[in-house]
Structure 1
Amino acid sequence: MSFEFEKVTFTEPKFTVHVKKNFGSDFAFYILSGNKRIAAKSYIKKTYSELEVKLEKNKVYCLKLFNRPECENTVLESDKLIIKRFFYLDKYGRVFVVNEEVLYEEERLKITEFNQESNITFVTFNSAQTDKTTSPFGAEFILSNGWNLIALHKHDKNQYQDLSLELFEKVIKDKTIGKKVFVYGTSLGGYCACYFGGILDATIIAGAPMLPVHPIMSHPDYQDVEYKHVPISNVPKTSKPVFIIYDPLESGDIRFMKETILTAYPLPYFIPVKGGSHLVMQTLLINGLLKATVLDLMNYNYIDVINRIMNHKEWVKI
């Protein structure tokens, strides 16, 4: 049995987590909103644990559980077992867990699916400073809207170089047939959205696309990582719009896009965010613009996005 998530219950304000675990182990949990921890419960030897917390309706949260197989004798983080689940409250305050299915996993790559039976599916790529345990990019926004999510997770410094075009198509394409598909990511995830999105003939939403392991970058941190991708100009192309969100003052980003992305998509829809930095999606998020930006791009309201960004008065810098 080892350690398994069983269920959660919520009777305001009491939130209770039930697990299955071996005798002699204990567990703790966090509740996160975005990357912010809003509640935490320390280790307990029972098979259930509860705390009081205020939760909003129609908003997705992340539940992160930690199991120590030998209680206090489990010292190393690598020896702890970790489980993540996303959940939300409906308009009546009932709690629902969004089931996650692992579609594919190997040492440096994991692909998971959250199927909510929607006619809209997002495929997202996590960015460079992540591993297989990191929450999927955009998960809370996507799942809160009731859409399906297929999430790609890389591990260590691999940069998705173990993900071939053929493997991506084999694992994911059948899951998107008949759906309105958006491929979404930022930085490394933005590059991968452009690189793989054509296989699904998806609308691409990419923030500051970048691939540090690409030969034109000669990035010192990735000298030991083998570059395996074919030139992006040779990959299948989408017939749908390609939206590139970027900071026109970031000369490194501009150079990289000219030498890679534009060889595949010479006429994307550019969305400049002056002063947004390479972390342009984070800049939009902290300024309260990211959600509206993505919603408008889903409906191809490109001009509305440009106007909203240009007319935003008080920019908060990262």
Structure 2
Amino acid sequence: MKTLSNVESLVRKITDRIIQLQEATPSDTSYLELSYIFEQIDKLDKAKYVLQEGIQEHPNSIALHRALWSLYTKQKQQQEKIKYIPRVLKSWIQKRPIKFFDRLQGLLLQTRQYELSLSITQLQLRKFPQQIDLLYDATQKSLNLGYYKEAISYLETIKELVNDTDEIIRLNMKIGMVYILSGDFEEGEKQFTYCREEYNDLLPEIYKDGYEKLVIFNNGESSIEYYKNICSTKRVVATFDSIDKTNKAKPFAFSILKKKSVDLISLRRRTVDNYHQDLSREEYYQTIEKLVLFYEKRFAYGTSLGGYCSLYFGSTIPECKILSLAPRNSAHPNYGSKIRGNSEFTHSLSHPVNTEVEPIICYDPKERIDQHYITEEIQKSYPNATFKYFYYAGHRVPLYLQQVGVLKDIVSRFLAEEPIPNYSPKLHSKSAEYHRILALACKRDLKLRWSLDLVNKSVELAPTYDRSLALRIEVLLSLKQFDTCIEYAKEAIKIHPNLARFYILLADAYISKDELYMAIDILESARKKTKSKKIVKKLKSLKKQTEYQNA
């Protein structure tokens, strides 16, 4: 597999040639070169799709046919060879949209060649000057590079092409946001004032959540989204998503913050296995450097991965108040999770020491990973931090705080720059997560009866919470109450039919009763429903066990 620098060179070479020759429609040579790049990075399926599209566009190219046939041979895809002639004939009759430039753009973003990426979009615009998707794409790529005048020009062009009033209002808001982003606050304010005065009655109908959104940076994996409140505000919150959230959902804490008259700068991820190692502190701050100066009050807020990022990235923002809940980056080689141990970690292992910022860090000292990371690293990097302890809240601190009824109060106090009090321990009784974490601790200490009582209370408080339901079954397995395990596992499957863990727990209960074939039947059925790799692995192991016993 080629190194990133080699791939970068290959991508630059093909892009430079396309731009030089003004290839608005890719040549067969371009298809061959792009396919070759995907081969070099072991993306053989993408290499195949590129060649198939190339043959659709250049059916007489012997080189393309030869390359595709060779790729089928390498992948030992005999069926593909059999379908080859019919597929070629079909592509002549039913042409699919060209994705060549989309795939090339993906490589350009991956190798951070933003100038070339913009040049390719501009090349396409010469052929399709009124294609709105391309104009928005050019806007995004101009913002990546800090070309704000160009971005505004593209948005103004789109405005001339659309007739829909709602879309025109949105474009005016976006233009104002770019002005703010560029540091031209006066012109930005003029745009917002115009929208509020001219379309005062329409704004609440158009913006149900109260925000216009603009992606101000995107490298293909990490992105930064700017949310401008339709009401005037001089407060901004930089938000950072938790480990289970991607840019398909609303940003972290959106439902709470949208009621607080604040603008948002949200760091997002395309996939859940991205730990923002593709983004440096310098890139992050360079993107928002002028933007944050528009605001009189600046805040940063996140939990888990977002808690880590609220410190790592948020501390670059001048005079920023930070609320970090259970900070952790699972990709960290020293303080991360074993299951994500192969993830590349490019950030500095320790946060830079910062004596100016005074973050508020909320976490559970009984959570071993968090306690180790915070005491060994975070306390040293942020010596003026305030630490708030929530014993047996676990790592999912916001869930615990929500269950005990203080999350909104903490966020409100944080934004009002008021101290966060020590809440009554009696509030623990309201939290299913507290009882689950305490039950887990008892299970580790082999206090199984206590553990069962606690997890039953957790289920009583949150009857559908999958983690509590699973822990109850695990405790009963340890107590050898296998029939009860089976009963609860079946109930849990009805509630969560797509979660593999309950099928595995049900199988474990039958295995404990020496009913191996019943366990196999359950896993075979579950494999078809869930397509879970864990179930496949468990099934394979169980079948080997039965073969060994029958030998």
Q: 1:269, CA displacement in angstroms?
A: 0.8
Residue 341 of structure 2 aligns with which residue?
Answer: 223
Give me the whole-angstrom Cα distance separating, in 2, the residues matched to 1:111 and 1:309: 38
Unaligned runs of 5+ in 2: 1-199, 434-551
Q: Within the alignment, does 1:108 sit opposite 2:225 as a pair?
A: no
- Give matches, 1:291-302, under 5 Å: 291-302=408-419
- Between the two proteins, the alignment pairs up a number of residues equal to 229
Give me the whole-angstrom Cα distance separating, in 1, the residues matched to 2:285 and 2:424: 35
Residue 205 of structure 2 aligns with which residue?
Answer: 95
| Equivalent of residue 378 in structure 2, options 239, 261, 264 | 261
Residue 4 of structure 1 aligns with which residue?
Answer: none
Q: Within the alignment, does 1:160 sit opposite 2:270 as a pair?
A: no
Give me the whole-angstrom Cα distance separating, in 1, the residues matched to 2:416 and 2:243: 29
Give me the whole-angstrom Cα distance separating, in 2, the residues matched to 1:294 and 1:218: 27
Give me the whole-angstrom Cα distance separating, in 1, the residues matched to 2:337 and 2:286: 31
Residue 149 of structure 1 aligns with which residue?
Answer: 264
More strand per residue: 1
Give me the whole-angstrom Cα distance separating, in 2, the residues matched to 1:147 and 1:298: 9
Q: 1:108, CA displacement in angstroms?
A: 1.1
Q: Give the TM-score of the pair, scaled to structure 1.
A: 0.65
| Equivalent of residue 176 in structure 1, options 288, 292, 316 | 292
Q: Any conservation in 2 of the 1:200–1:238 contact (CA below 8 Å)?
A: no
Q: 1:248, CA displacement in angstroms?
A: 2.1
- Give matches, 1:113-262, under 5 Å: 113-116=226-229, 117-156=232-271, 157-179=273-295, 180-201=297-318, 202-217=320-335, 219-234=337-352, 237=354, 239-262=356-379
Going from structure 1 to structure 2, the CA distance change for 1:176 and 1:253 (only over 3 Å counts) comes to same
Going from structure 1 to structure 2, the CA distance change for 1:173 and 1:238 (only over 3 Å counts) comes to farther
Q: Give the TM-score of the pair, scaled to structure 2.
A: 0.39
Query: What SS does the corresponding residue of 1:169 show, helix, strand or coil?
Result: helix
Give me the whole-angstrom Cα distance separating, in 2, the residues matched to 1:246 and 1:184: 14
Query: What SS does the corresponding residue of 1:256 show, helix, strand or coil?
Result: helix
Residue 85 of structure 1 aligns with which residue?
Answer: none
Q: 1:232, CA displacement in angstroms?
A: 3.4
Give me the whole-angstrom Cα distance separating, in 2, the residues matched to 1:140 and 1:95: 18
Query: What SS does the corresponding residue of 1:130 show, helix, strand or coil?
Result: coil
Query: What SS does the corresponding residue of 1:225 show, helix, strand or coil?
Result: coil
Query: What SS does the corresponding residue of 2:267 show, helix, strand or coil?
Result: strand
Write out per-residue CA displacement over residues 181-204 of structure 1, whole angstroms, 9 at most, x where no aligned residue.
111000110011111122103111
**Bigger Rg over Cα:** 2
Going from structure 1 to structure 2, the CA distance change for 1:298 and 1:145 (only over 3 Å counts) comes to closer
Residue 404 of structure 2 aligns with which residue?
Answer: 287
Query: What SS does the corresponding residue of 2:299 show, helix, strand or coil?
Result: strand
Q: Any conservation in 2 of the 1:134–1:153 contact (CA below 8 Å)?
A: no
Q: 1:218, CA displacement in angstroms?
A: 5.2
Q: 1:163, CA displacement in angstroms?
A: 1.1
- Give matches, 1:32-71, under 5 Å: none
Write out per-residue CA displacement over residues 131-182 of structure 1, whole angstroms, 9 at most, x where no aligned residue.
2212200112112222101111123312011110111011112211142111
Query: What SS does the corresponding residue of 2:421 show, helix, strand or coil?
Result: helix
Residue 128 of structure 2 aligns with which residue?
Answer: none
Unaligned runs of 5+ in 1: 1-89
Going from structure 1 to structure 2, the CA distance change for 1:94 and 1:199 (only over 3 Å counts) comes to closer
Going from structure 1 to structure 2, the CA distance change for 1:245 and 1:120 (only over 3 Å counts) comes to same
Q: Within the alignment, does 1:272 sit opposite 2:389 as a pair?
A: yes
- How high is the sequence identity, in percent, across the aligned residues? 26
Give me the whole-angstrom Cα distance separating, in 1, the residues matched to 2:339 and 2:266: 25
Write out per-residue CA displacement over residues 279-299 of structure 1, whole angstroms, 9 at most, x where no aligned residue.
011111122211111111233
Q: 1:313, CA displacement in angstroms?
A: 6.4
Q: Any conservation in 2 of the 1:287–1:315 contact (CA below 8 Å)?
A: yes
Write out per-residue CA displacement over residues 36-69 of structure 1, whole angstroms, 9 at most, x where no aligned residue.
xxxxxxxxxxxxxxxxxxxxxxxxxxxxxxxxxx
Going from structure 1 to structure 2, the CA distance change for 1:256 and 1:241 (only over 3 Å counts) comes to same
Going from structure 1 to structure 2, the CA distance change for 1:178 and 1:159 (only over 3 Å counts) comes to same
Give me the whole-angstrom Cα distance separating, in 2, the residues matched to 1:187 and 1:222: 15
Give me the whole-angstrom Cα distance separating, in 2, the residues matched to 1:218 and 1:208: 13
Query: What's the C-alpha RMSD, in Å, of the aligned pairs?
Result: 2.8
